[in-house]
Structure 1
Amino acid sequence: MDNSSIYALVGYSALACCVIMFLVWLWSLRIKNAGVVDIFWSYNFPIIAIILLLLAPGFETRKLLLCGMVIIAGGRLGTHLAVRVLKHLRQEEPRYAQIRKDWGKNAEVKMAFFFQAQALSNVLLAVPFFIITLNTAPQLGALEYAGTALWLISVIGEATADAQLAAFKKDAANKGKVCDTGLWGYSRHPNYFFEWLMWGSYFVFALGSPYGYLAIISPAIILYLLLKVTGIPATEEQSLRTKGEAFKKYQQKTSAFVPWFKKA
């Protein structure tokens, strides 16, 4: 593994993501909506994948497979978020409105650092991608095929959960209600579960490459964020504020995370 290749790829990726997030932050100032950061956090992974596809020295078939997976998954999620955010572009998502309120008069400056932190998190979470695309072994192994299969399950699962929630919200009769149909009848956050499973699939794929065990950092970080920081805690706090008793009853009936586990 060539250290100079690693440093160059990481550097190019970090530069691209930071520049994109700086421009997005400027846009967020103009429209007063920090929620756009989520869109471009997702799109930054395909950007990294394109950089690696063009510049990484690994086996071409492996690069095409991995980078194709990342582009499809990141593009799908980013577009899903864009559709949601752009419908209410001038109305900031409550989660970010609350953050802005908590940060007070220095909110915009702190947001600038927050956007850059999101860019750097893109690069950190891309560790499996760097490992995989530096692998020059001229054939794919069983772990790489297993990772691809797991990725396919995760992308289909997440897309299904997102589609079910979007359909529920589209029905005016459901206004103010809690989505408890489909996968949402088993888990309060099936989309988060499959998102984490996707990062697990990249880890499995990376195990087929030298130093692949280091890729565990990505699903570990995602799991921590989802369970303890910006995922489930923030989402459920907002749901409790807006849906109150209905959401409390929903919490009692469903699993917080794993979609196939349902409480009695």
Structure 2
Amino acid sequence: MTPATLFIGIAVLLSLAMAVAWLVVARGARSGWIDASWSFFVGIAGVAAALMPVEGWEGDWPRRIGVAGVAAAWSLRLGLHIASRTMRGGDDPRYAALRQEWGDDWNGRLFVFLQIQAAAAFLLATTIFLAARNPVPVVQWSDLAGLVVLAAAIAGEGVADAQLARFARNPANRGRVCDVGLWGLSRHPNYFFQWLGWTGYAIVAICPFGVWPWGWAALAGPAMMYWLLTRASGIPPLEAHMLRSRGPAYADYQDRVNAFWPGPQN
């Protein structure tokens, strides 16, 4: 298989997957299925990018298997978490706000928006591809460092999600702001750990001393994810919703805790 064949196949897969997610939500399903689908298909695309045979980009099998394994683990954990939350709860507040903002243009603009998400997923799959195809012989210290970062990111994101879910299940916390555990260190620790994971792939791709030029291109993954989470579809709409629903309590939380980076507000 040539690289072009692989990338065209991944692009078509992701575009079709998000088109199906659009159709399901357009017909009345909860919008949480969008993010669940995205998570699953980023993982599928990443595993394919790591394991499919590609001419001139063979890499070493141990590295390819390791990268594919963490991509699958991240995808399954996040996708199942969002799917479970969607089945239990209502509409995602970010998409609810977009529905209200877009009005009669909701279906058309949502389709375009989800195709942009497919393009973002394609870039992330490319980041996984570059990590898996690093031609430097394994095992390097950068392999171990990158996989440690990835494992910490998956675990941290899982802990943050579990802490928030446990807080929300307690009737005594109704209307309150979750500021316990990791949520006392960052207002969005799940987003922080999600970003951290993509830096792990970049570490593996760049390899010791940055001797493989293509490895540096993997920095596009964490750079894009940081922008999406902190400037676009992540923190801004969610914070706007929290201020509407929690009011002064959330404003006080903003004054005390950083939005993204763990630590007290400067």
TM-score after normalising by structure 1: 0.92
For 1:262, the equivalent position in structure 2 comes to 264
Whole-Å separation in 1 of the counterparts to 2:68 and 2:236: 31
Once structures 1 and 2 are overlaid, which stretch shifts more, 71-80 or 123-132? 123-132
Q: Deviations over 1:65-109 (max 9, x none)?
A: 000010001111111111111213xx4222111111211212101
Whole-Å separation in 1 of the counterparts to 2:9 and 2:132: 15
1:55/1:126 CA distance change after superposition, 3 Å: same
Q: How far 1:188 sits from its partner (Å)?
A: 0.7
Q: How far 1:64 sits from its partner (Å)?
A: 0.4
Whole-Å separation in 1 of the counterparts to 2:258 and 2:134: 39
Say if 1:154 and 1:197, in contact at 8 Å, map to a contact too: yes
Whole-Å separation in 2 of the counterparts to 1:150 and 1:29: 38
For 1:116, the equivalent position in structure 2 comes to 115
Whole-Å separation in 2 of the counterparts to 1:169 and 1:193: 20
Which residue identity lines up with residue 61 of structure 2 in the other structure?
Answer: E
Whole-Å separation in 1 of the counterparts to 2:19 and 2:265: 44
2:48 matches 1:45: no
Whole-Å separation in 1 of the counterparts to 2:124 and 2:215: 14
Q: How far 1:120 sits from its partner (Å)?
A: 1.6
Q: How far 1:247 sits from its partner (Å)?
A: 0.6
Whole-Å separation in 2 of the counterparts to 1:263 and 1:130: 37
Say if 1:6 and 1:130, in contact at 8 Å, map to a contact too: no
CA-based RMSD of the aligned residues comes to: 1.7
Q: Alignment length, in residue pairs?
A: 258
Identity of aligned residues (%): 36
For 2:20, the equivalent position in structure 1 comes to 23
Q: How far 1:62 sits from its partner (Å)?
A: 1.1
Whole-Å separation in 1 of the counterparts to 2:80 and 2:192: 19
Say if 1:66 and 1:129, in contact at 8 Å, map to a contact too: yes
Say if 1:46 and 1:75, in contact at 8 Å, map to a contact too: yes
Say if 1:135 and 1:210, in contact at 8 Å, map to a contact too: no
For 1:164, the equivalent position in structure 2 comes to 163
Gaps of 5+ in 1: none
Aligned to 1:31, what secondary structure does the other structure show? coil
Aligned to 2:2, what secondary structure does the other structure show? helix
Gaps of 5+ in 2: none
Which residue identity lines up with residue 178 of structure 2 in the other structure?
Answer: C
Q: Deviations over 1:8-60 (max 9, x none)?
A: 22111111111111112111122253332111111112211332313343321
Which residue identity lines up with residue 54 of structure 1 in the other structure?
Answer: M
For 2:189, the equivalent position in structure 1 comes to 190
Paired residue for 2:220, among 217, 221, 239? 217
1:213/1:244 CA distance change after superposition, 3 Å: same
Say if 1:45 and 1:126, in contact at 8 Å, map to a contact too: yes
TM-score after normalising by structure 2: 0.91
Matched ranges for 1:2-151 at <5 A: 5-52=2-49, 53-56=51-54, 57-88=58-89, 91-151=90-150
Aligned to 1:20, what secondary structure does the other structure show? helix
Q: Deviations over 1:103-127 (max 9, x none)?
A: 1212101111212221121111222
Aligned to 2:52, what secondary structure does the other structure show? helix
Whole-Å separation in 2 of the counterparts to 1:243 and 1:205: 41
Q: How far 1:149 sits from its partner (Å)?
A: 1.0
Say if 2:202 and 2:215, in contact at 8 Å, map to a contact too: yes
Say if 2:93 and 2:238, in contact at 8 Å, map to a contact too: no
Once structures 1 and 2 are overlaid, which stretch shifts more, 26-35 or 72-81? 26-35
Q: How far 1:134 sits from its partner (Å)?
A: 3.0
Which residue identity lines up with residue 104 of structure 1 in the other structure?
Answer: G
Once structures 1 and 2 are overlaid, which stretch shifts more, 240-249 or 11-20? 11-20
Once structures 1 and 2 are overlaid, which stretch shifts more, 236-245 or 124-133? 124-133
Say if 2:46 and 2:129, in contact at 8 Å, map to a contact too: no
Say if 2:205 and 2:218, in contact at 8 Å, map to a contact too: yes
